[in-house]
Chain A
């Protein structure tokens, strides 16, 4: 049971380039989330999904896109990368969104630098 996995661990992107951050979970969780964490700050929600085929915006969705074609995978797409997108990106999943079992499990993160 690998939990939540993310690739790549590190990446340097040039301004204007695009890339996809991968996230996979093997816990059969319906809920998945993408966060970004800037230095010394908390986590900001970018996008989330409540199940395959269903996604919605979080607090800071501009410049990003997501898709959820399977329960396991929730990739995050960066289009036209900007220096403001330099951050650490965490993917997380949870069994539910409320009540018991709504705690989130996090992947190891992707450290992205846009130059």
Chain B
């Protein structure tokens, strides 16, 4: 069983729609959860992090965490073509010094 699982996609949404990206993880002790965006040929860049159950909003992005279900999601509102990228989910257990990444979901936002 993989530590972090994501649907590889591609997920296609029209411009202006809400894109919903999902991630599940296997380690119940995981405590930090991250969403990275990676454009083709570029390095990952951090979009959001969340530590507590519930929702965390930052501009057009909302991260949702449900530790009981071991589930993290990222919502992108008013999707733009510039949001087209691969989104990586990562989890970490405090002081274990290791981050586990999913294989990423490719998002296509169509004009």
Contacts and interface: CB of A to CB of B under 8 A. Distances in A.
Interface stretch (B13-21, B53-61, B71-79, B94-102): B94-102
B52 to A, nearest CB: 12
A56 B90 CA distance: 20
Contacts, number: 62
Task: Categorize the interface residue count of chain B.
Answer: 20 to 34
Given A40-B103, A45-B99, A99 B44 contact: no
A45 B4 contact: no
**Interface secondary structure of B, over-half rule:** loop
B39 to A, nearest CB: 12
B101 A50 contact: no
Task: Categorize the interface residue count of chain A.
Answer: 20 to 34
A33 interface: yes
A115 B96 CA distance: 36
Contacts of B104: 41-42
Interface stretch (A68-76, A78-86, A101-109): A101-109
Contacts of B100: 45
B34 interface: yes
A44 B4 CA distance: 12
Interface of B: 4, 6, 8, 31-32, 34, 42-46, 49, 88, 90, 92-104
17 contacts: A35-B101, A42-B88, A42-B104, A45-B100, A58-B98, A97-B92, A97-B96, A97-B97, A98-B32, A98-B93, A99-B32, A102-B32, A102-B92, A103-B34, A104-B46, A106-B45, A107-B43
